[in-house]
């Protein structure tokens, strides 16, 4: 029975992990996919987000992972724990079969238990990631670099990240229980190293004590006449002013979502503000704007720190063809549009995420997006 469980668990991990990895595919930047799609909102306004969810929804469902497993199984990515579990199962078999003493049997039992715990942890992690993906739709934007050559710890960490073991997990609403190895920070669970990262801003550091930027990132972070760039073991690059050795900017290499007071992760390099808000929030001058998780964040370009939320979007919004969701009982159009779009016997109008939608009063079906107003 235990063997069956292990086999099933290992299979589930192997099956689902690549699916999850592929779910992030656009954001991983392999082959230069559409960067807007990788970042969710950039897909194009209300309808773009709707499409994004529709495309990604199936990937978040475990039963859809099967074809992807068949397609990607040969790569072996994402199934990293499966070999360990198979090994443990085999060792247990040897222990029982050869009867080489209780100690070895107990050791084998412990290995099996450890493997079981791994399966359980993996399943929990998958479940949480599925929740996160379903919540975020196509808004993840997990841009991960290509890696060439072996670099020991760095590559191991990158592999761990790709396999999901280092992924910060956003659980519905807020992180209540973080998976092992991740600490709670605001709404996220994230690697402990990231907790202190924002606090490094403005600190004076000994440049010689920090590693050079990994080669994969040197195209982006190269020492110049004003700055050094150094790599922090927690997965970030510091920009250090040559004059005073103070850290003046931080670039996390791995995304953990956006949060006020935190540096903008590298995965959000690309402007991704939904179309209807692009006139209002344009990159340039002192600020950048980035969309994540139903909010548009403002980023101080000099420090790379997120300093505020400039727009909040309704989570579910409205989509043409769908039943008007709960919560849109009241007419809610902005003042300037009330004369033009007034509720009557034939039509109702509702506002969501920059769009005015026409709704059939009888069927309560959203009939059309009649105007985008930002």
Partner 1 sequence: MIGRLLTAAIAAAALAGCQGAEDAGNEAAVPSNGSADSAGGGNRAASTIAQTAGQTAELSQFAQALQAAGLAGTFGGSIPYTVFAPVNAAFEAVPAETRSGLMAAEGRAELTRLLTYHVVPGVITSQDIAAAMQRGQGRAVLATIAGPNLIVTREGDGLVVTDGAGNRARIVQADRRQSNGVIHQVDAVLMPGAGGDAAGNAQ
Q: What does the binding site for partner 1 look like in residue numbers (CB under 8 A)?
A: 172-174, 186-187, 259-261, 277, 280, 294, 298, 307-316, 325-335, 343, 350-354, 374
Give the residue with the Cβ less far from partner 1, 244 or 336: 336
d(CA 253, CA 242): 22
Smallest separation (angstroms) from partner 1 to the CB of 174 = 6
Give the residue with the Cβ less far from partner 1, 148 or 176: 176
d(CA 304, CA 141): 18
- Single out the residue of 284, 57, 39, 271 nearest to residue 143, CA to CA: 39
Smallest separation (angstroms) from partner 1 to the CB of 177 = 13
Give the residue with the Cβ less far from partner 1, 219 or 335: 335
Asked if residues 174 and 213 have their Cβ atoms less than 8 Å apart, the reply is no
Smallest separation (angstroms) from partner 1 to the CB of 283 = 16
Give the residue with the Cβ less far from partner 1, 8 or 342: 342
Strands, sheet with 236-241, edge to edge from the N-terminal-most edge strand: 211-212, 227-232, 236-241, 247-252
d(CA 13, CA 20): 10
Smallest separation (angstroms) from partner 1 to the CB of 115 = 34
CA distances from 224 to 36, 220, 234, 248, 355 (A): 30, 11, 23, 14, 46
325 DSSP 8-state letter: P
Give the residue with the Cβ less far from partner 1, 211 or 260: 260
Give the residue with the Cβ less far from partner 1, 43 or 355: 355
CB atoms within 10 A of CB 102: 10
Q: Which two tokens stand for residue 174?
A: 């807020």
DSSP string computed for 339-364 = TTS---SS-EEEEETTEEEEE-TTT-
Give the residue with the Cβ less far from partner 1, 159 or 184: 184
d(CA 20, CA 169): 13
- Single out the residue of 143, 107, 112, 100 nearest to residue 266, CA to CA: 143
Smallest separation (angstroms) from partner 1 to the CB of 269 = 22
Q: Which two tokens stand for residue 169?
A: 């997990």
Smallest separation (angstroms) from partner 1 to the CB of 371 = 13
Smallest separation (angstroms) from partner 1 to the CB of 249 = 19
Give the residue with the Cβ less far from partner 1, 79 or 252: 252
Smallest separation (angstroms) from partner 1 to the CB of 299 = 12
């Amino acid at each position: 029975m235990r063997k069956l469980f292990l086999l099933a668990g290992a299979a589930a991990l192997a099956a689902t992990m690549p699916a999850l990895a592929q779910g992030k595919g656009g954001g991983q930047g392999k082959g230069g996919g559409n960067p807007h799609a990788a970042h969710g909102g950039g897909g194009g306004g209300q309808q773009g987000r709707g499409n994004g969810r529709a495309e990604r929804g199936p990937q978040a469902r475990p039963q859809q992972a099967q074809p992807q497993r068949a397609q990607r199984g040969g790569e072996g990515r994402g199934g990293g724990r499966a070999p360990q579990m198979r090994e443990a199962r085999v060792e247990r078999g040897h222990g029982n079969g050869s009867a080489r003493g209780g100690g070895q049997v107990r050791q084998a039992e412990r290995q099996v238990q450890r493997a079981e715990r791994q399966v359980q942890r993996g399943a929990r992690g998958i479940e949480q990631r599925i929740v996160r993906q379903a919540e975020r739709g196509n808004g993840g934007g997990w841009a991960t670099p290509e890696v060439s050559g072996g670099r020991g710890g760095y590559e191991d960490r990158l592999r761990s990240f790709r396999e999901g073991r280092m992924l910060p997990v956003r659980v519905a609403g807020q992180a209540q229980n973080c998976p092992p190895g991740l600490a709670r920070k605001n709404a996220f669970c994230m690697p402990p190293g990231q907790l202190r990262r924002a606090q490094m801003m403005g600190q004076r550091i000994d440049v010689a004590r920090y590693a050079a930027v990994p080669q994969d990132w040197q195209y982006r972070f190269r020492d110049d006449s004003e700055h050094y760039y150094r790599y922090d073991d927690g997965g970030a690059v510091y920009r250090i002013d040559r004059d005073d050795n103070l850290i003046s900017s931080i670039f996390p290499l791995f995304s953990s979502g956006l949060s006020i007071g935190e540096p903008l992760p590298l995965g959000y390099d690309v402007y991704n503000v939904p179309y209807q808000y692009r006139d209002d929030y344009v990159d340039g001058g002192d600020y950048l704007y980035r969309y994540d998780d139903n909010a548009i964040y403002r980023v101080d370009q000099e420090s790379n720190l997120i300093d505020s939320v400039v727009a909040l979007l309704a989570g579910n919004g409205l989509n043409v063809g769908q039943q008007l969701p709960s919560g849109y009982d009241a007419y809610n159009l902005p003042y300037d549009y009330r004369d033009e779009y007034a509720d009557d016997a034939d039509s109702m109008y509702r506002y969501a995420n920059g769009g005015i939608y026409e709704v059939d009063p009888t069927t309560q079906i959203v009939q059309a997006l009649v105007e985008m107003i930002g």
